[in-house]
Structure 1
Amino acid sequence: MLIPSDLLPGTPGAKSSLFARRLAAHGERTALLTRDGELSYRELADRVAEMAARLGHDQRRLVLLAGANSSDALVVYLAALAAGHPVLLVPGDNDGALNSLTAAYDPDVVVRPGPKGRWRLDERRAVSVHDLHPDLALLLSTSGSTGSPKLVRLSYENLQANAESIATYLGIRDSDRAATTLPMHYCYGLSVINSHLLRGAGLILTDLSVADEGFWDLFRAGRGTTFAGVPYTFDLLDRIGFPGIPLPDLRYITQAGGRLAPDRVGHYAALGRRDGWDLYVMYGQTEATARMAYLPPDLAASRPEAIGVPIPGGAFRLEPHPDWPGQDTGELVYSGANVMLGYAERPSDLALGRTVGELHTGDIAQLAPDGLYEIVGRSSRFAKILGLRIDPQRIEALLRRHDVTAFVAGADDELVMAVADTDRTDAGRLRRIVTDDCGLPPRAVRVHVVPELPRLATGKPDYEAVRKLGHAPESTRACAAPTPGALPVDLCRLYAEILDRTDVTEDSSFVSLGGDSLSYVEMSLHLEEALGHLPPDWHLVPIRDLRRPRSAESDPGKMSRRRTLETGIALRAAAIVFIVGSHIPVFHVKGGAHLLLAVAGFNLARFHLTPTAERRERVRHGLRSIARIALPSLAWIALALLFTDDYGLTNLALLHSVLGPHDSDTAMHFWFIEALTYILVAAVALLGLRVVDRAERRFPFALPMTIAALGLLTRYDLLGLRDRFHVPSAAVVFWLFALGWAAAKANDTPRRVLVTVAAVATIPGFFPGEPFRDAVVTAGFVLLVWVRSLPSLGPVNSVAGVLAGSSLYIYLTHWQVYPLIDDFSGWLALLASLLFGIGYSAVATRAMRRLSGLLRGRRGTAAPEVSD
């Protein structure tokens, strides 16, 4: 029999969290909304009661929970609070931090994700070995050092008081629904959960980024009224065209986790006034449970530089500081019921009661005449970066333990490190050490290798000079040599060679480096050889996260057996064989070129239209892809002009389909090259327009579907243009390219069904009297939409990869190769055409890389060295 959560008994001698015990009081109101459905407060209360019973009510135990924005993690958190068990909350995606804190604090219960998405509860002992203070409710990492044993001790009163205060000044209603845009283990993200559960409001549980279109689908479907953001969140909102996203239920947005520039505050405040929602800028620290101050929304536009006023129940005072003698200026000291009990640095500290009466924030503030507080500096070297308080001195000590001397400072939401240049200096390794320790993303840690560390005349470190390095390009050795136990292939160097980049670091991904469909196949072949597998969406994964699976490490023989082959690569390989074989002909399987157009649209969306890529970056990468198609094509056609009479200047200018002559025997030889080039130029030009860029980010699936619908005007000649003009092939077939683009953005079943129906309805009949040709294109397209990879073998992958990567060049050159041999043997002509095209691909790729290097040298651009 389950005990209602509002009647749960606490463990002997312990207190418990009031809002966690009163969930059932909100009845059938919606508590949680996820992709899998909704959960009412009554249902949530029952699940919490069941978990509380499993954790037990007789003895308090220390529960380590791997936090995640999921109903399972939330139920464990609430059950532990309701039953009086202190919770040590750690990141669910950081095994290092979890293992480190497990070793440091020896929890009695460990709850973490298990295989197949199931959560595993490991009860290490029935009776705690720790002396747990009755007030202790929650332990959170301090300073963002998620693997550090230094934790903030929070009480039940802290959690309840802060939740009530936040709910009061935000005016949270039971009809509100907040999206979990921040991780649960982060005090800001957790405060969103606590304050909304307190008022019986709904939580849209998701771990999707605001840059993911699926997030906004879920937010609208759940009638979301609010979400929280740190400064980086607002950078992402800028990139995805947030002002154009329809959010009819949005009531307010909250911002904390670091200073948002005043101009950005003013911009979003004005946007909110226009669209009918409020912006709350807030200030807080983990040591104050979450919040200490907020800026009333009506002042955000006129006072964007201020942190505002104390939260209800809190108070500030300014303590004089010798370095900041100004009037009404001093270190900001906060008092209130949400101030932590104190710190814990070892298990014995869990028995302590309150050791802190008020909180010295370390921030220098001034009280303005209008009663608002402003932060004007820091009283120590602590830096707040992406919402995490980092101690640069501790980072320096950490590096000294690795025999590295460095000066570290915080600058503009980044941690800047100056490291002396020695034979052993490895910037990538140092960045990894720091990010693993302090929880910062790699992009927020800049490593500068300098000839000498900057010092003042007194010999002391010149930290101002270190901060100024943050404005300069990194001068680092980007990648380290392979270490014992590492991959035998230097992935950074591999990426640098294939993508012709000199700025590769372990934080780079294929897409961030400007990879396209031509380099994708070559990259995937080498990666599979190195890794033994290709992770899902590997082209979006940072190099540091690409690892060989343990099974392959323990049994290298497995690497050459079962593999998978991406459907797009398989289709490109099959299509080029069908094209050449049908032209000779040794068989008749036509439709390959039209299928390749759909695959080209699919690849454009995958590699160039990621939500986080800026408009200029998209255009730059698109132009580079066009150049990789057009320049080798022009070179080959120019060569053919010298030795044959088959082509003219219109072919050389890729204008034959426009200017003709249209009745020559070779008129259609390069139609595919011309069509693909025209379509890509049009697509890049279109996406270069600000209004189209915003539309694509707002409607990533609807935009290409609309373009495909417009393409049907020429596909079916609804305007009667073909009778009056010679319409280029590109204008007739670009609907296929747009459907491929839409297929890449069809990230759920309804969208995949829609794009499939569109293809099945419009492809048949395109080739009059050739139903088999229609069927080849249709079947290939459906396979591309629904099956992202095919079972394969290592040798098959190698052959398919080479053919797919060389498909453009095989198509380009086969017209001159097979006529020399087909009279002797059609099959030999096919083989020769494929091999010659592969050879030309290698030559063209090398030439393009050399040309790129010459252009960089002429521009005089300096770039970091990629070390051995």
Structure 2
Amino acid sequence: MTLAPSLVPARRVVPFVRDLAVHGDRPAVVTTTGEISYADLARRVEEHADRLGTTRRLVLVVGANTVEALVAYLGAVRGGHPVLLAPGGNALAALAQAYDPDVVCGPATGWAVDERRPGSAHDLHPDLALLLSTSGSTGSPKLVRLSHTNLAANAESIAQYLGIRGTDRAVTSLPLHYCYGLSVVHSHLARGAALVLTDLSVADAGFWELFRTARGTSLAGVPYTFDLLDRVGFAELDLPHLRYLTQAGGRLAPQQVRRYAELGRRGGWDLFVMYGQTEATARMAYLPPDLAVAHPAAIGVPVPGGTFRLAPVPDQPDPQVGELVYAGPNVMLGYAESPADLALGRTVTELHTGDLARRNPSGLYEIVGRRSRFAKILGLRVDPDQVETLLARHGVQATCVGADDELLVAVTGQPYARAVRRLVADEVGLPPRAVRVLVLAELPRLPSGKPDLAGLRAQATAPTDAGPPAAPTDAGPPTDAGSLCRLYAQVLDRDDVRPELSFVDLGGDSLSYVEMSVRLEQELGHLPPNWHTLPIEALRAPRRPGGRRRSLETSVALRAVAILLIVGSHIPLFTITGGAHLLLAVAGFNFARFQLTGAGRGDRFRQIGASLARIVLPTVAWIGAVMLVNDEYRLSTLLLVHSIVGPDDARTEWHFWFVEAVVYLLVGLAALLAVRRVDRLERRHPFALPLGLTALGLLGRYDVFGLDARYDLPAALVAGWLFTLGWAAARAGSVGQRLLVTAAAALTVPGFFGQPAREALIVAGFALLVWLPTVPSVRVVNRVAGVLAASSLYIYLTHWQVYPHLRDLPLLALAASLALGIGYAALAGRVLAAARARSDRAAGWLSTLLRRG
């Protein structure tokens, strides 16, 4: 029952929460399922507040970007209850244990409210409204205590300088439990504007579909968000309602600030660079958009109602630099480090930010370093921020942190650790042994997107020596990720394998995938779905090892079967054709999985280039060697252009039509994906694009241009649709999409050869790829299939020179063809690995010389 207003004790409520209903039928929340009006939101908030009652209690709310979490948070604030807004996962458990909340609101089977006690176990100060984790300490018992005045003042200040209108619609691109993300909610509710509520990443195509559909007007991001925006081609996105971007949560490189500011000028929207800390509720400074191009390194001016001063710093050589100190109504009450601190009132009146700053001649403040981040290494004072800036100028993304006796430098991409170490050591003045470079797939980040310095230190203290390669064993699954890391290091020939990386992160390709899948199944006793994209630490053996069933990855099985059919039919030991065209479909399947990863365009091109090298180099080497001893092949064969230039009467050049087709397809698709719009289209519609390309490829298959396609067009144009349909098979994520790929194969393959058995084989192969990730097997079959699949290209290249001499002994011809191809695969693998190692060393030396220059 709801008490009459006269019987409800006086309680302090934030105005913008109390007055939600004032905005009536105006939309308050927009989701993928529809809109919620302010009137409806106010009703839900009041109902939640009534449920919590009038006795003030400490309410922990799991801050997800969902309607339920938003209502739970606002309802608790509306009821005057102090809210501990927390992330999920391990951090949630740590905070709940440390502060023993009276009520917990969070996801369970849906959304649950767990009332642990009718009253409160705590003495709660009347000004206390909100508890948030400090920046960089998610899950730590140390919390920021914020008052009702803090929340109201900062929301009003932000709404004022951003010029938020009632018609604005801000997307929740940051977590609700992060002060920056929460400030977006507060400032827009304060103006009766709408929130486009989503937990999707800006790297997700669905995010932008929702943004456009909801007519989004603003987007908030930390520096990492802007890296993701670059990856998705933000500059080319059509966002007709966008009014401004905001950036905070860390320093955005000046060149990026200037680039996005200029982009905004051309696009008709503004960039607001902002500065803040949780201790100031959210914002302390902003850079007016019209000054961003001229002053991209500045944080700007204090927010309305706030002031700055520069406090002297001992041993600071520049008298213009001091510690930035902020004062204003949004400064926190103080910290809480235990439940007893919840009874405290205000313990601070101004905020010492810990940032070193100066004021430039234009009156704008600039951050020049972080006082607390300075590290003393071997007696030398080092600023990790300056090291990160140095590396950024050389195109290396890095996060740095000082340890006891060394500087840790985490980098991403494919930099050369030795060159980075020397560059940093020379610039800072440290000996190279005091600089440790960690090459990671992704820099460790907090849920807010900020660098996770604690996580970096943890990675640095983890064992880095992968040790000697682990020999195959029948002793059962590994007990930890360490043995799997050693296995990955052996198969991939990498010395930077870490548990948080996946096969794809480590540069695995379709050839190494075969060996890895077989060895991994041998270790674990099964193959987890999409294991190649899972972190090594996520791979686990079944709980009951005795009941394990052996299986073989379907694409590996098809490669092994196809190469056997190709060689056996050529001898002929039997006549079962269609193996090469089935391999073409599997090649497209693997192209989608290993070349079209979530990496940036540059990394994708490097992956495609590496695949081309692994195909072209051994092919040309073999053909060239054969040409030295006989005249079986011609120059057009060596150059892999026979299907284009002929001659038509050749008897042996058709041997390599399959290799030419794959090479042409990879080159053509790389050129196509070089177009930014196409690259973005593939990321947004990963299934629709290959299906569309398949439809185009069928123009050649059905002789739409009046050509005799089987003879007048290169094989890549005639049979390329099998490759793109295999690509679509890899992207088919729903039952409907799988059915569509299966139907496409069943409708288009029959009639292509006029050989029903051959066509049935290819259709069956597509069905297996689409519907069965693995097939039942036994250990010995797995080992044999793994070797055959990994060597399939090399067997295909070399068998032409073997079986003609042993036609009278077909079984021996088959065995000899397979043996030579497997041997050539082993030799080529060693040569390519040695060449790659020399190339890496040479590139490292060259990089060092260029950077020193």
State TM-score, norm by structure 2: 0.80
Report the CA distance between 1:248 and its aligned residue.
Answer: 1.9
Secondary structure, in 3 states, of the residue corresponding to 2:261? Answer: helix
From 556, 559, 578, give the equivalent of 2:545. Answer: 556
> How far does residue 288 in structure 1 lie from its aligned partner after superposition?
0.8
Whether contact under 8 Å (1:289, 1:338) holds in the other structure is yes
Q: Equivalent residue for 2:193?
A: 201
Cross-structure match for 1:866: none
Residue in 1 aligned with 2:394? none
Q: Are residue 632 (structure 1) and residue 629 (structure 2) matched?
A: no
1:15 aligns to what? 12
Within 5 A, what are the aligned runs for 1:37-48?
A: 38-45=35-42, 47-48=44-45
Identity of aligned residues (%): 57
1:676 to 662, 669, 675: 662
Q: 1:368-422: CA deviations, max 9, x gaps?
A: 454x431243472247xxxxxxxx79xx9xxxxxxxx99994442723335659x
Deviates more, 1:343-352 or 1:719-728: 719-728
1:85 match: 81
- Structure 2 residue aligned with 1:227: 219
Please report how far the alpha carbon of residue 230 of structure 1 lies from its aligned counterpart in structure 2 after TM superposition.
1.1
Instruction: Provide the secondary structure at the position in 1 that maps to 2:717.
Output: helix
Q: Cα distance 1:856–1:171, how it changes in 2: closer, same or farther (>3 A)?
A: closer
Distance 1:501 1:11, change over 3 A: farther
For the pair 1:848 / 2:832, whether they are aligned, the reply is: yes
- Amino acid corresponding to residue 315 of structure 1 in structure 2: T
Letter in 2 for 1:417: G
Partner of 2:267: 275
For 2:238 and 2:7, the matched residues in 1 are separated by 45
Match of 2:595 in 1: 608
Q: Which of 34, 56, 61 is the matching residue for 1:60?
A: 56
CA offsets per residue over residues 257-301 of structure 1, 9 Å max, x none?
Answer: 112222221211111111121111111111011111212222222
- Contact 2:169/2:217 (<8 A) preserved: yes
Q: Any conservation in 2 of the 1:419–1:448 contact (CA below 8 Å)?
A: no
Contact 2:601–2:674 (CA under 8 A) maintained in structure 1: no
Higher RCO (CA 8 Å, separation ≥ 6 residues): 1
TM-superposed CA distance for 1:682, in Å, is 3.0
| Structure 2 alignment gaps of length 5 or more | 389-397, 440-459, 469-476, 848-853
Match of 2:457 in 1: none
Aligned to 2:183: 191
Corresponding residue number in structure 1 for 2:445: none
How far off its partner does 1:677 sit?
A: 1.9
Residue type of the partner of 1:102? A
SS class of match (2:508): coil
CA contact (8 A) 1:709 1:735 kept: yes
The answer on 1:212 being equivalent to 2:208 is no
CA offset digits 1:579-619 (Å, max 9, x no partner): 4565566776644433432332333233223343242x322
Give the 3 Å change call, closer, same or farther, for CA 750–15 of structure 1 in structure 2.
farther
Letter aligned with residue 789 of structure 1? P
- 1:375 equivalent to 2:366? Answer yes
Pairing 1:49-128 to 2, within 5 Å after superposition: 49=46, 51-52=48-49, 54=51, 56-92=52-88, 94-95=89-90, 97-114=91-108, 118-119=110-111, 122-128=114-120
Once the two structures are superposed, what CA deviation does each residue of 1:789-838 show, in whole Å capped at 9, x if it has no partner? 34646747666555543433344445566667786677x97787667655
Aligned to 1:436: none
Question: 1:761 and 1:825 mapped to 2: Cα distance?
Answer: 36
The CA distance in 1 between the partners of 2:743 and 2:585, in whole Å, is 15
Give the counterpart of 2:584 among 555, 574, 597. 597
Q: Secondary structure, in 3 states, of the residue corresponding to 1:184?
A: coil
Which stretch shifts more, 143-152 or 464-473?
A: 464-473
CA 1:820–1:34 in structure 2 vs 1: closer, same or farther (change >3 Å)?
farther
DSSP-derived class of the 2:494 partner? coil
Are residues 449 and 845 of structure 1, via their aligned partners in 2, closer, same or farther at CA, if it must alter by over 3 Å?
A: closer
Summarize the alignment of residues 435-584 of structure 1 with structure 2, pairs less than 5 Å apart: 465=429, 474=438, 479-480=464-465, 487=480, 489-506=482-499, 508-531=501-524, 534=527, 537-543=530-536, 545-548=537-540, 552=542, 555-558=544-547, 560-561=548-549, 567-577=554-564, 579-580=566-567
Q: 2:773 matched to 1:789?
A: yes
Task: Note the C-alpha offset of 1:130.
Answer: 1.9
Corresponding residue of 2:455: none
The amino acid across from 1:515 in the alignment is G
Alpha-carbon separation, structure 1, partners of 2:839 and 2:218: 48
Give the SS at the match of 1:307: strand
> What is the CA–CA distance in structure 1 between the aligned matches of 2:165 and 2:53, rounded to whole Å?
32
The aligned amino acid for 1:172 is: I
Distance in 1 between the 2:246 and 2:569 partners?
Answer: 61
Task: Give the C-alpha shift of residue 256 in structure 1.
Answer: 0.7
Output the CA distance in 2 between the equivalents of 1:530 and 1:492: 12
Output aligned runs, 1:125-524, within 5 Å.
125-321=117-313, 330-370=322-362, 372-378=363-369, 380-382=371-373, 409-411=384-386, 412=388, 414-418=399-403, 465=429, 474=438, 479-480=464-465, 487=480, 489-506=482-499, 508-524=501-517
CA deviations 1:443-494 (Å, max 9, x no partner) are: 9xx999999xx99xxxxxx996569999985598972469999527534433
Bigger mean CA deviation after superposition, 336-345 or 804-813: 804-813
Alpha-carbon RMSD across the aligned residues, in angstroms, is 4.7
Aligned in 2, Cα 1:840/1:41: closer, same or farther, shift over 3 Å?
farther
Call closer, same or farther: CA 1:379–1:761 in 2, change over 3 Å. closer
> Structure 1 residues 57, 530: closer, same or farther in 2, change over 3 A?
farther
Residues of 1 paired with 2:112 and 2:826: CA distance? 51
SS of alignment partner, residue 334 of structure 1: strand
| Greater shift in the superposed pair: 489-498 or 219-228 | 489-498
Equivalent residues, number: 805
User: Offset at 1:173?
Assistant: 3.1
CA drift at 1:81: 2.3
Secondary structure in 2 aligned to 1:670? helix
Amino acid at match of 1:629: I
Shift of 1:738: 3.3
Range with greater deviation from structure 2 (411-420 or 176-185): 411-420
- For residues 729-808 of structure 1, the aligned pairs below 5 Å read 729-742=715-728, 744=730, 762-767=748-753, 769-771=754-756, 773-774=758-759, 776-778=761-763, 780-781=765-766, 784=769, 787=771, 789-790=773-774, 792=776, 795=779, 801-808=786-793
Give per-residue Cα distances to partners, 1:616-655, cap 9 Å, x unaligned.
Answer: x322222221122223334454566688886555444434
Q: 1:842 to 1:53 in 2, by over 3 A?
A: farther
In structure 2, the residue corresponding to 1:308 is in which secondary structure? Answer: strand
